[in-house]
Every structure is written in structure tokens, then in C-alpha cells.
Amino acid sequence: MFDETHRVTNQPPPFRDVNLFEVDPTLQEAVAAYDGGWGRDALSAYGALAGGELRRHGELANRFAPELVSYDPYGHRIDRVEFHPSYHALMSAAVAHGVHSLPWETDRTGAQAVRAALELLHNQADSGTDCPITMTFASVPALRAEPDLAAIWVPRILSRRYDASTQPAAHKSGLTIGMAMTEKQGGTDVRANSSRAQPANESRGPGEAFRLTGHKWFCSAPMSDAFLTLAYLDGGLTCFLMPRVLPDGERNAIRIERLKDKLGNRSNASAEIEFDGALAWRLGPPGRGVATILTMVVMTRFNCIVGSTALMRHAAMQVLHHIAHRSVGGAKLIDAPLMRNVAADLVLESEAALWLSMRIARSIERRDDEREALFARLATALGKYWICKRTPQHVNEAQECLGGLGYIEDHVMARLYREAPVNSIWEGSGNVQCVDLLRALARSPETVDAYFAEIDLARGEHRALDRARDALGAELRTGPSDPFAARRLAEQMALTLEASLLARHASGAIASEFVASRLEPTRLAYGTLTDARAVDALLSRFALP
């Protein structure tokens, strides 16, 4: 009798052992479009890992969150964060596959696109470990501001071996880098920081050494081998490299006061820390700390865009998998007209985010080209604002498609939803991105030219797109001087840019539907598409088993 009541019917099979690269033809097309076709084998291998073994590790690393151990059994302060073994398995896989290093290892065109695709795959298994991977990747340009320090640190950062041991950097086979920027009284306003640096009497390494005293409200990945941080010198706010373990093996004077109890991103530790005369080396010129750290922040903001895109892609996959197997009223959900509309719209949003992410990867790779550098600055602010802000709405709509199943912690959708807000907050919230957009437009008129040069590659493809482009052109000719309207401007610029990319790279029906639903008029509630051909094309974009 109980066997009958416990017999499960009308539920989708488990979504597991799926090669997340091979089932995503748009990702394959985007990587190839930006010259990354040579990375296909590596991406396929990592796609299999991310959709299989690493997916299980992601579940465990988030279920068993990091724990702070302040003292050893004998009363010695050790400030150690302990992780579940699955955290280390995720880190090892990412490092072994170059998610933290690929563009710095090779001059091959398309390396940034391949690396972005690797990161997108990794985020679908676990977003928390992407934080230390991201910061390690992004630290390299900043470290190169001091060649003597770079000579010691960069080769081990680029190592394909993950080494979680607590040792001096010179004794390790691989290094990871964290970041400690914000303080209680300032947050994003780092110029309000109160941490101070004084010249040290000893160096214990190359470069100019200092002792730092202060506190940091958020330190990401506190078990990293070193941190980029900001403190005041007489010359102003300055950037420093602060190792966790000093060259002689002594633990640096960094105290972990507590771990943050975060909404999501739980596999990754974030800490509140104190510097009590901690030894650090100056990185970049005195008083130029913000400019130095921004070489890192540009990369971490881009990775926020990729991480949010990954959540959209995976949420859309989960929806399509569910509705293909679930029946209501005797019919499959995927055949229900309104469900088809909503699911297709979710795929459409993720398609636009993916193409914009990959286009930004290309501009980062070509930063030696002045126009590409200007475009990168602008498009990163737009993508960070719009894609990261759109993701929580997207994942929530995906949850609705699954009903109660999408709201329980047994299902991956609940974790995707908890992860969804972090990228809109980390590395500058939406308002910060809008202010940065206005600053970029005001400082360099050529930035506007770089933006419209990209949009105009799709000139003539869609009349509504051309009208949106011309309306923006008229507005920007007078100068974007009103911060009150900055969000409206950022949204319109982002949507127009996404539409132009889809017009060039997606099928005609898909691009037309994006233009129709996002530009004229704007219909931002999901499930308001009008073209049945576009819906059919979007619902077949993933080659799910």
C-alpha cells in the first residue's frame, strides 16, 4: 500500500551529468565569433565537469559553509577558516583548467572569450569559489605595477596547481589573491577609509614595505595568500599587497574578527578583519591607490557580468528541462502557450546577456586599441548595471516556472536565487555603475563615438533599433548631465547595445523579438513575446537530453 503512495510520477528526471558546454550552442557560437574556437576541447572538458562532478561538489560546499577557527587547542590565535573538502575540489578544478589564468598565459586571440566561457561554466557548478578565482585572475594587471613584486608573485599565481597550505608564498606551488577594500564608515566610498600605513623598519622582501593599521568591513576569501588593500600614506590613498604569511613563515598581523553570514555565496568565506601593524608592500605610486586597484576592479566587474549571465543560462536550462517532462491537465507544460512564452522570454534574456558578456571580453582583450578601451570602460559599466540587476528577476521567474520545487533547498534553483543578488552589490552597486557611466561619457566624447560605432554595425537591421539608436544619439549630443536620470539612460543604452548584438549574431526572429519586446515599447515582464516563430527558436536553443 505504501509503495503505491510513494510511487513518483509526473516529475522530471534529475538534471545531472550534463555537459554544460555541449548543450549550449549559443555559448559555442559566441566563443567562436570572438576567435576562441581553439578552446573548444578545453571548454567541452570543463563543461562535462561543471555539469557532473563539480555540480555535486557545489551542493556540498554550500551546504557545509566555511567555519572560522580563531584559536588552536592550546590558546594560540590562528585565524584559520576551514572549508569542506568540496570547496577545495572546486578550487583545484578551476585552477587546473586555467579559469584564473588563461589570458595571462597566452597571446592567442580569443583567450579572454575562452576564459570567460570557462568561468561561465564554473559558475553553474558553484558561484562562491568563483570569487577567489576572479580576484586571483584580476590581480595580475595590478601586480604588474611593481615589477619586483610581480616577479615573485605572478608566476605562482599563474600556476595550474592549487595549493591550500599555509606557507610563505615562495614555498608554495600555487597562489590565490583576495581583496580587502571597504570599511564600515565608507563602503564603496573608499576615500572615507581610515586605515593608515607607516614605513616599516624592515622589508622581508622586495619593494617598499609598510605597517598597516585599520579595519576592513569586507575581506573576500580571507584564506588567500595575499590581499590587495587600500590605506592612507602621507601622499594619499595608496594600494598595498599584504601577504597572509610573511616570507620567514611568521603569520602576518591580520586578525579575522568574524565571517559574514551572507544571504548567498555561502561556499565562499567573506570576513571582517583588522590590521594590527600588518606588513605590506606598496603597489603602484603613493596616493594613486584607487587608480591602481581599478586595474583589478575592471576585471572583477566584468566577472560579475559573466557570473550573472551564468545564473541566467542555468536557470533557463532548468526551466526547459522541467517543462519538457512535467504535465498539467494531461498536456506537457512545454506545450502550454503561456508557459512557452515565459520560458522563451527567459532564454531570450540570457541570450542577450551572453552576447554582451562575450563582446566585453573581446574589448578587454583589445585594450591596446584606444576605441576598444573606451568601449570596454562604457560597456562594462552598462553590463554590470543591467545584467547583474536583471538576474534576480530572471531567476525568480524561473522559480515560478518550477512552482514549489523551485523554492526548496533540495533543488538547485533555490541556490541560484540566493546567488542572484550578489553581483549587483559586489564591486559597486547599480548607482555606482550609473555614476561611472556618466563620468566616462563626460570625460571623453570619444567614448560616445565608440559606443555608437558598435551599435551602427547593425544599422538597417531593425527600424525600432535604428530609432532607439537615434534617440540616444540626440540625447547624448547634449551631454548626460542629469544624475537623476542616470538609471533610465543606462538601461536604454544597455538594451540598445544588446539588441544590436543580437541583430548581428542571432537568428532574425530572435533578434526581432528582442527589439520588439525591449525597445519599442519596453515590456520588461517576462512572458510578453508576440512572435510564435521566435518562441519556437528560443525553446530549441539548448540541446538538452
Residue with cell 559597486: 428
pLDDT at 201: 82
The total number of structural domains in the chain stands at 3
**Whether residues 64 and 132 fall in one domain:** yes
* Calculated CA dihedral for residues 402, 407, 412, 413, nearest 10 degrees: 60
For residue 421, being part of any structural domain is answered with yes
- Do 36 and 62 share a domain, yes or no? yes
Q: What is the CATH number of the domain that holds 255?
A: 2.40.110.20
Summarised one tens digit per residue, pLDDT across range 303-316 is 999 999 999 999 99
Considering only residues 3 and 259, tell me which one the structure prediction assigns the higher pLDDT.
Answer: 259
Flag whether 192 is in a domain: yes
Query: 131-166, pLDDT tens digit by residue?
Result: 999 999 999 999 998 999 999 999 999 999 999 999
Whether 67 and 132 share a structural domain:
yes
The least confident of 53-62, 244-253, 305-314, 439-448 is 439-448
Q: Is the same domain home to 360 and 285?
A: no
Residue 53 lies in a domain: yes
Instruction: Report the C-alpha gap between 91 and 161 in whole angstroms.
Output: 10
Question: Is 300 in the same domain as 283?
Answer: no
pLDDT at 205 over 90: no
| Helix or strand (DSSP H, E) at 32 | helix 25-33
Mean pLDDT of the chain: 95
Task: Indicate if 273 and 350 belong to the same structural domain.
Answer: no
pLDDT above 60: residue 1: no
Are 472 and 326 found together in one domain?
yes
Residue 270 predicted with pLDDT over 70: yes
Name 142's Cβ contacts closer than 8 Å, sequence gap at least 6.
228, 239, 283, 284, 292, 293, 295, 296
Domain of 393? Answer: 292-539
Of residues 146 and 201, the one with the higher pLDDT is: 146
**CA 54 to CA 91: how far, in whole Å?**
10
Q: What is the mean pLDDT of residues 174-183?
A: 96
Contacts (Cβ under 8 Å, ≥6 apart) of 382: 356, 433, 437, 490, 493, 494, 497
> From CA 472, how far away is CA 12, in angstroms rounded?
46
pLDDT in tens, 367-388: 999 999 999 999 999 999 999 9
Asked whether residue 12 is domain-assigned, the answer is: no
Structure confidence at residue 545 as a pLDDT band (50, 70, 90)? confident
The answer as to whether 477 is a domain residue is yes
In a domain, 14, yes or no: no
8, part of any domain: no
Residues 317 and 340 placed together within one structural domain of the fold: yes
In order of 371, 451, 543, the CA distances from 446 in angstroms are: 8, 9, 42
Which of the four pLDDT bands, split at 50, 70 and 90, describes residue 204? confident
Shared domain for 258 and 346, answered yes or no, is no
Q: What does the pLDDT average to over 49-73?
A: 97
Asked whether residue 216 falls in the same domain as residue 105, the answer is: no
Would you state the pLDDT for residue 524? 75
Which residue, 228, 257, 289, sits at the end of a domain?
289
Contacts of 165 (CB under 8 A, 6+ apart): 172
Q: How confident is the model at residue 344 (pLDDT cuts 50, 70, 90)?
A: very high
The contacts of residue 29 (CB under 8 Å, 6+ apart) are: 505
Whether 206 has a pLDDT exceeding 80, the answer reads no
Whether residue 147 lies inside any domain: the answer is no
pLDDT of residue 190: 87
Model confidence pLDDT, tens digit, residues 80-95: 999 999 999 999 999 9
pLDDT above 80 for 4? no
Q: Are 224 and 177 in contact (CB under 8 A)?
A: yes
Which of 121, 141, 161 finishes a domain?
A: 141
CA atoms of 382 and 453, how far apart (whole Å): 16
214 shares its domain with 88: no
Q: How many CB atoms lie within 10 A of CB 538?
A: 29
**Cis bond upstream, residue 85 (ω within 30):** no
Which among 104, 99, 137, 95 has a CA at the least distance from the CA of 117?
A: 99
Tell me, what CATH number does 366's domain have? 1.20.140.10
Last residue of a domain, one of 274, 289, 304: 289
Burial of 336 (C-beta count, 10 Å sphere; 0-12/13-18/19+):
middle
Q: What is the average pLDDT across 444-467?
A: 96
Clarify whether residues 92 and 175 are in a common domain: no
The mean pLDDT of 221-237, rounded to a whole number, is: 95
What pLDDT sits at residue 149? 92
